[in-house]
Amino acid sequence: MSVLGSRGVRSHSVPARPVPRRPEPVPVPVAAPKAPPARRGREWIGPLGGVAAGWLVAAALSGGFGLEGTSARLLHQMLLGGAIFVFAMLLRRRRGARAQEVERTVALPEPPPPVATGDHLGSPDRSSAERSIGSPALGDGSSFDEGLRDIRRKDPKFDPTRFTGYIEMVFSATHHARASRDVDSLRDRVTPELYGELRAQAERLRSLGHARHVEQIEIRAEVTEAWHEDGRDYVTAYIAGSMLDYTVDEATDALVDGSKTVLENVEAFWTFTRPAGLNPWMLSAIQ
């Protein structure tokens, strides 16, 4: 991995990458309470009512058409016996259903008592800690937190999340300045060491008769390192995205490097530094 400029004592170390964050748990929908079951006593009301109605109709018909004596009494007894039989069967079925419900209720095991875990004993939520400003998801979170504490001793309001907006602006400005070979416009935004290297690159392109073009920059930045050394603050950001980046021959406009139509993936680490305290940040390394 090539490096322009300096990262202080970390110039020869591999910058930290952001660790993918765990997805948020999907909330489980709460089931709506079930409506209470209809009373089972109603099951036999319909059939019993039908038998009773039939009995009354039969009695009326037997009297209306002159059916008397033994035949009428036999019809009444048959209908009454049928009604009693139906009632007894429904009552027996109802008692059997109640007995099954009691058996199922007794067979259900009681839920085990809750077991106390670290989460219930007051330990902080890990996902919330990873989303906080001072604890990004890094391989060495303690080093990052310590570096932030050092930076905030003289700049209590320093926020690495908001600082990414400045990083993305400097990224675009730097690439456009390198493409136009107007490196002098970066003098107040980069360290003297990095300014000298960028100027040397621009002179090399000019001597070759080449022109660089940068278009459609779409990137995002995330601070992954923070530390303090020798009275200076340092932060390194991981930058990822895409852009058109190509070089042509100025005389013929022939393509020398890159593509005029295919977006190039961007993956880089940019380091910024400043004298500790409320001082402007300057780009010190492109890696």
pLDDT tens digit sequence for 37-60: 555 555 555 555 555 555 555 555
Distance between CA atoms of residues 98 and 54, nearest Å: 30
Q: What is the pTM of this model?
A: 0.60
pLDDT in tens, 203-221: 999 999 999 999 999 999 9
Residue 180 reports pLDDT greater than 80: yes
Residues in the chain, overall count: 287
* Residues 248-252: contacts with CB under 8 Å, at least 24 apart: 248/210, 248/211, 248/213, 249/209, 249/210, 249/211, 250/209, 250/210, 250/211, 251/209
Tokens of 246: 């190509």
pLDDT at 13: 87
CA distances from 117 to 27, 120, 121, 122, 279 (A): 21, 5, 6, 9, 46
Question: Do 227 and 10 meet the contact criterion of CB atoms below 8 Å apart?
Answer: yes
SS3 of 86, please? helix
pLDDT band at 18 (very low <50, low <70, confident <90, very high): confident
CATH code of the domain occupying 140-286? 3.10.450.240
pLDDT in tens, 107-164: 445 555 444 333 333 333 333 333 333 334 344 457 899 999 999 999 999 999 999 9
pLDDT in tens, 184-203: 999 999 999 999 999 999 99
Q: What would the mean pLDDT of 238-263 be, rounded to a whole number?
A: 94
The CA-to-CA distance between both ends of the chain, in Å, stands at 7
> Domain locations in the chain?
41-107, 140-286
Q: Within the chain, where are the H helices?
A: 45-64, 70-107, 126-131, 141-152, 160-180, 192-208
